[in-house]
Structure formats: structure tokens, C-alpha cells
Amino acid sequence: GAGVSQSPRYKVAKRGQDVALRCDPISGHVSLFWYQQALGQGPEFLTYFQNEAQLDKSGLPSDRFFAERPEGSVSTLKIQRTQQEDSAVYLCASSTGLAGVYNEQFFGPGTRLTVL
Amino acid sequence: GIQVEQSPPDLILQEGANSTLRCNFSDSVNNLQWFHQNPWGQLINLFYIPSGTKQNGRLSATTVATERYSLLYISSSQTTDSGVYFCAVDTGGFKTIFGAGTRLFVKA
């Protein structure tokens, strides 16, 4: 596709449910990032993939959060046993270059997660 | 880690006015981008500008890397310019840090 796509766009989960959020990056982009954006705040880094390798997961809030990119393209962010504090918009971005080197990121529309 | 500060936090303009948004960062950066987050939440790329000056229509940006700041200029503002403007940087690692943003409202 022409841009980064994310699905679903909206997700409502009951506390304790598991959720999976999908990101389709721009074709051929090496780098993929996940961010969490709370209401009224800037995006906060969660994790970074270079192709299929997860090189930085220091921003994941807890071990309930897990991300993968098994074939170096589509990525999934999974949240287990969701809590109310997980409610946020989850953004995905991709870049043709490498983080820290040349890194112009393009963002998807986000998934708005609401945990009841 | 690096600190990114944006000012002003909030800005209200009359349509047609000009404005300057500022991004200060506490360490040298490898990458710097300006984004506009529209009212629907989409982050739109404005500039990739780790150094130098760029212009795109009514918008321009300047980054003075040696003095650790970047400026975004909006001229002849329009109501469609409303939203939140973010500066985002990285220092050569894998993590990108966003500022808290400048919330702009342009009145008709």
C-alpha cells in the first residue's frame, strides 16, 4: 500500500482480555516502531524492529506487552491481561532507513484501545 | 536520556497570522522530525530536518544543531493548521523521543 496501515482502528476490551494489534508498514521499509500515546500527551516509544530483529524493547511497560515481526514486514503488538491503564492510542511507524542513522518515520493512523 | 522541550505549549492565532514554534533538545541529535497531528489523530510528516533549513509552501523549519534547537515557522495560518505540532529526535540509538507538543488553534 501507499502508507502504513493499522488494524483494528478501534478496539474495546474488557479488563483481563488479550488483544492483538496489527501494523502493515510501507513495503520495503527496514525499520518499524511502536508507540503508545496517552490522551493529551506525545507518543512514547515502545519498541523497535530492524527487519525481523527486535533491537530495542526498553519502552514496553510490562511483560504483558509483546511485539513480533516474524518475516520482517507485518508486525503485531500483543497485550495480555489488559488493564485500564493500557487504554491509549497505539501508533506504528516505519522507515526506509535505520534508527539512529537515517530515520525519517511515517506513521499509521493508530489503534485506539479502550479497556473497560 | 535526552530531554525535548517544546514551546509554547498552547497557541491561539487569528487566521492569517504568522507563528514560530520552538523545540529545544538537551543533547546532539542524529535525526529530527516535525509532525502535525490533525484532529483525527493522524501524524503527518512536515519536515525531516536534523540540520539546516527547509521550506514547503507556508511552512519552513530551521535546525541549529550546534545550539540544540529547531524552529518551525507557519506563515499566513489557516484553520486547517489547527492541531498539535510535535518535534521528535533520536541521538543515534534506537529510541525516538517526542516533545510534549504545541497545541495550535487557528480562529476563522
Chain A residues close to B96, C-beta within 8 Å: 33, 45, 99, 103, 105
**Which residues on neighbouring strands pair with residue B86, listed in sequence order?**
B35
Q: Are A4 and A94 in contact (CB under 8 A)?
A: yes
Kindly state the average pLDDT of the residues B38-53.
94
Q: Are A61 and A70 in contact (CB under 8 A)?
A: no
Q: Note whether B105 contacts A: Cβ–Cβ < 8 A.
A: no
Distance from C-alpha of A10 to C-alpha of B45, rounded to nearest angstrom:
23
Kindly state the average pLDDT of the residues A93-105.
87
Kindly state the average pLDDT of the residues A30-47.
96
pLDDT at A1: 53
Q: Note whether A45 contacts B: Cβ–Cβ < 8 A.
A: yes
Q: Note whether B33 contacts A: Cβ–Cβ < 8 A.
A: yes
Residue-wise DSSP of B44-90: EEEEE-SSEEEEETTEEEEEEGGGTEEEEEE-S--GGG-EEEEEEEE
B81: helix, coil or strand? helix
**Cα Rg of chain B (Å, integer):** 13
**H helices present in B3-95, as ranges:** none
A21: helix, coil or strand? strand
Q: Are A65 and A14 in contact (CB under 8 A)?
A: no
pLDDT of A55-83, one tens digit each? 999 999 999 999 999 999 999 999 999 99
Q: Write the single-letter amino acid at B69.
A: Y
